[in-house]
Structure 1
Amino acid sequence: MGSTNRFTFFNFKDGKQVPNSDSATNIWDIGIRATTIIVNGGTGRSGQGGAYIHTGTLESLSAVPETATFAGDENANKLAIPTGSGNGWYTYGGGVISPTNDKVLVIRTGDGKYAKVQILSYYKGGPDGPGSESRFYTFRYVYQPDGSKKLN
């Protein structure tokens, strides 16, 4: 998604980037900058968004678990999706940022719907690591447009 100092915003319903000029709306669901992923919910955000990190696979997660507790972003140091190696969606070692295979991000979107997301790569063209251009996310997701918690 590029290497700038700004967040790149994404909307799951439309499957596309959202302009930075819409950052104060509930149109966007997640924002990405380097290894930081924010949600459109919480302190200072206009959306109903939140996140829950599920341990398992994208395929095995068929619904939002009843026990899931969604968090919004409180501030830059307390995000719904924690930053740092081993804390959220990735690990860092040998100069490579690698998505954690058994972590699925369950997102409550800016308008209160749900999506499940698996990060596949942080590098342009795939998971090559050093020598590849970084900050180019590849991910797959399932969006639930009817607002139910069913995710398949």
Structure 2
Amino acid sequence: MKTKLLSLLAIVLLAACSKDDAPPKPEEPGGSGGNPVKTGTYRVVNLVADTNATSAGDAVSLYYSLEENRVIPASQRQTGNWDIVFYGIYNSSVYPNNGNAVGSPGFGGPGKAEIAVIVDRKFDVAYYDTINFKPTKLPIPAALWSEAYNKVTAVPTGLRFVTRDIGLDHFLGGFDGWGYYDFYGSLFPGNPQKAHVVYTMPRVMIVKTHKGRYAKLIMESIYKDSPASPDRTHKPGYITFRYSIQMDGSTNLNIP
């Protein structure tokens, strides 16, 4: 069993890369890591989550430390070693590690992390119907991700952090999210391959880590190799995201 677990962790970790194109350092089972990253921007590509996940239920959770740029074993769920977890349908809900959040995988633990999503309605109109809450063009122009990301140079004053998850836009709860879930395939009527498909949107999340540092994060895809126009033929469970973390404790996120 131990050999099987270590093999699985190796597969997961080799799928992720930092700004130096090196995979996150392996986490020793039962250890606490202790190898913080430097202030900087990191891109994690095809991070292997639950590749067997379906739209019928929650995926197997994947725990991640932004401060160490690594996957944390599920056995350490009740610790402060992780900052966010990819949870729910297709690993699409991003929960902070907060022990007071009922329903969170970190509930009951020591976690103090929080999260917020920045929603700019004036920016949204470039790709999104702000009345009916759905994309107006697909694929969404790729340039909008960098534009949205680069606009966030600091933690906005008055930003409301939450301890619940940031998930799929207005799906089963009506909250603003980072992506849109076309449950019935209504954006492409008559095409069954477009039902139950998640479309990433260029929205930035701010994470306050368990240790109180700030990071901005933008999701790029939950499908293998980040297809521009995903459908049911594409494999979910491969998470790609970018984040910038400020390790000096300030709210400055103008980070190259």
TM-score (norm: length of structure 2): 0.53
1:99 to 200, 212, 234: 200
For residue 126 of structure 1, what is the aligned residue in structure 2? Answer: 226
Matching of residues 1-152 of structure 1 within 5 Å: 1-3=48-50, 5-33=59-87, 34-41=91-98, 42-43=100-101, 44=107, 45-55=109-119, 57-72=148-163, 79-83=164-168, 84-85=170-171, 87-93=176-182, 94=185, 95=195, 96-101=197-202, 103-127=203-227, 128-152=230-254
Q: Give 2:81's aligned amino acid.
A: I
Q: Give 2:150's aligned amino acid.
A: E
SS in 1 for 2:75: helix
Q: Please state which structure has a larger fraction of its residues in strand.
A: 1
TM-score (norm: length of structure 1): 0.86
- The separation in 1 between residues aligned to 2:167 and 2:66, in whole angstroms, is 21
- Which aligned runs of 4 or more in structure 1 are off by greater than 3 angstroms? 82-87
Q: Please state which structure has a larger fraction of its residues in helix.
A: 2
Q: Give 1:39's aligned amino acid.
A: P
Identical counterparts, % of pairs: 26
- The separation in 2 between residues aligned to 1:64 and 1:110, in whole angstroms, is 16
What runs of 5+ residues in structure 1 fail to find an aligned partner? 73-78
Higher mean displacement: 125-134 or 18-27 = 125-134
RMSD: 1.8
What runs of 5+ residues in structure 2 fail to find an aligned partner? 1-47, 54-58, 102-106, 121-147, 186-194
Between structure 1 and structure 2, the one with the greater Rg is 2
Alignment coverage as a number of residue pairs: 145
